[in-house]
Amino acid sequence: APGSGGGGAAAPATAHFEADVASVLARLHPKFTRGARCERTGLAMGFAWRERRICIEADGPLRFLQPAGGGSPPVPDGRTLLKRRLLRAAGWKVACVPFFHWARCEDAPRDYVVRGGRERSLEEKKKVIRAALKLADPNGEALGTHAWR
């Protein structure tokens, strides 16, 4: 059903999810600002690095539809797909961080708490952001030679 997202209890609350992405992104690169607007479309972007024209969208459960049967992963809804297309048409590289990839980082086995789990979870979250950026900018043109921490 629209807006169901299939998130259930495993999906982080949207505000917490976005704040968590912001925290991890600040460690990766401080140039991204939260809540910027595209000057051409007026659309709000989750996080943007204007000089490089890269935006990162933290896509929460309400941006997805759950396919019938529940066996497949959620798919972006039409509004989300349109927003991505409009931002790309305005010259932005759009990286998407879906809530269900992020939630996997938080659903690590409980024994990780004993063995530095917070650091391990942070590293997993950094990997999710790096993977999204790589999909948005496969040739690294916008990212340049920046060394992602």
pLDDT in tens, 63-117: 999 877 777 889 999 999 999 999 999 999 999 999 988 988 876 554 444 445 5
CA angle 58, 53, 138 (to 5 degrees): 75
Q: What is residue 103's predicted lDDT score, i.e. its pLDDT?
A: 86
For residue 149, pLDDT over 50 is answered with: no
Query: What pTM did the predictor assign?
Result: 0.77
DSSP string, 80-146: HHHHHHHHHHTT-EEEEEEHHHHHHHHT--GGGGTTTHHHHHHHHHHHHHHHHHHHH-TT-TTTTT-
Residue-wise pLDDT for 15-71, tens only, equals 889 999 999 999 888 899 999 999 999 999 999 999 999 999 999 999 999 877 777
Q: Could you tell me which residues come within 8 angstroms of residue 5 by beta carbon, excluding any fewer than 6 positions away?
A: 11, 60, 61, 62, 63, 64, 65, 66, 74, 99
Give, as one character, the DSSP assignment of residue 38: -
Residue whose C-alpha is closest to residue 91's, from 132, 128, 141:
141
Q: What is residue 16's predicted lDDT score, i.e. its pLDDT?
A: 87
Arithmetic mean of pLDDT, 128-143: 85
Q: Which residue has the higher pLDDT, 10 or 58?
A: 58
**Where residue 7 falls among pLDDT bands split at 50, 70, 90?**
very low
Q: Which residue has the higher pLDDT, 69 or 3?
A: 69
